[in-house]
Amino acid sequence: MSSTGEIRRTQLKRGAVAFWHAVFQSFSFVAPAGDVAILLLGTAQFALGATPLAVLLAWIIYGLWIIIPYEFSKYIVNAGSYYAYSARAHGALGVMALWYWMLENITGPAFGILGLAGFLYLISPTISEIPYLWIAFAIIIWAFGFILSYLGIRPSLEYVMYTGFAEAMFLFISALIIIAILGPRNTWTVWTPAPVKWNWAPIFFGTIYSILDFTGLGTATTVSEEVKDPRRVIRWAIITAWILSGLALIVPAYALTVGWGVNQMSTYASSPDPGLIVYYKYLGLAGWALLVAFTINSYFSYMTAKYNAVSRIWFSSARDGLWFKKLGMDQVHPGHKTPYKALLWFATIILVINIITGLIMGPTNAGVWLLTFAGLGIIAVHIVANSALTVYSYKQGILRREWLRHGLVPTVASILGAIVFFYSVYPLPPYPYNVAVLFSFAWLVMGIILAIYYWKKHPEILANAGLSYE
Asked if residue 427 has a cis previous peptide bond (ω within 30° of 0), the answer is yes
Residue 407 lies in a domain: no
Choose from 121-130, 208-217, 264-273, 458-467 the range with maximum mean pLDDT. 458-467
Given a cut of 90, is residue 147 above it in pLDDT?
A: yes
Label residues 126-163 b or e (16+ Cβ within 10 Å = b): eebeeeeebeebbeebbebbbebbbebbbebbbbbbeb
**Average pLDDT value over all residues in the chain:** 93
Distance CA(159)–CA(348), nearest Å, equals 23
CB-based contact 250:56 (threshold 8 Å): yes
Q: What is the reported pLDDT for 5?
A: 54
**Could you give the CA distance from residue 356 to residue 325 in angstroms, rounded to a whole number?**
27
Is 331 inside a domain boundary? yes
pLDDT bucket at 10, cuts 50 / 70 / 90 = very high
> Is position 408 within any domain?
no
Assess if residue 397 is contained within a domain.
no
Provide the residue range defining the domain that includes 264.
7-386+418-469
**CB distance 197 to 19 below 8 Å:** no
Judging by beta carbons within 10 Å of its beta carbon (0-12, 13-18, 19+), is residue 205 exposed, middle or buried? middle
Q: What is the pLDDT of residues 78-106, one digit of tens each?
A: 999 999 999 999 999 999 999 999 999 99
Confidence of residue 201 (pLDDT cuts 50, 70, 90): confident
CA 177 to CA 224: how far, in whole Å? Answer: 37
User: Does 328 have pLDDT greater than 70?
Assistant: yes
Where residue 70 sits, what CATH number does that domain have?
1.20.1740.10
The sign of the dihedral angle between the CA atoms of 59, 60, 64, 69 is positive
What mean pLDDT do residues 181-199 have? 96
Which helix (H) or strand (E) segment is 8 a member of?
strand 7-8
pLDDT in tens, 267-292: 998 887 899 999 999 999 999 999 99
Residue 216 confidence (pLDDT) above 60:
yes
Task: Give this prediction's pTM.
Answer: 0.93
In this prediction, residue 211 carries a pLDDT of: 83
Confidence of residue 45 (pLDDT cuts 50, 70, 90): confident
The number of folded domains in the chain is: 1
Q: Flag whether 203 is in a domain.
A: yes
Measured distance CA(322)–CA(326) in Å, rounded: 9
Residue 463 CA to chain centroid, in angstroms?
29
In a domain? residue 261: yes
DSSP 96-151: HHHHHHHHHHHHTTHHHHTHHHHHHHHH-HHHHTSTTHHHHHHHHHHHHHHHHHHH
In a domain, 392, yes or no: no
What pLDDT was estimated at residue 193?
Answer: 95
Given a contact cutoff of 8 angstroms between Cβ atoms, the answer to whether 336 and 148 are in contact is no
**What average pLDDT does the segment 185-213 reach?**
90
- The contacts of residue 413 (CB under 8 Å, 6+ apart) are 61, 64, 65, 67, 68, 382, 386
- Please tell me the predicted confidence (pLDDT) of residue 3: 47
Residue 84, domain member (yes or no): yes
The 10 Å Cβ neighbour count of residue 336 is 17
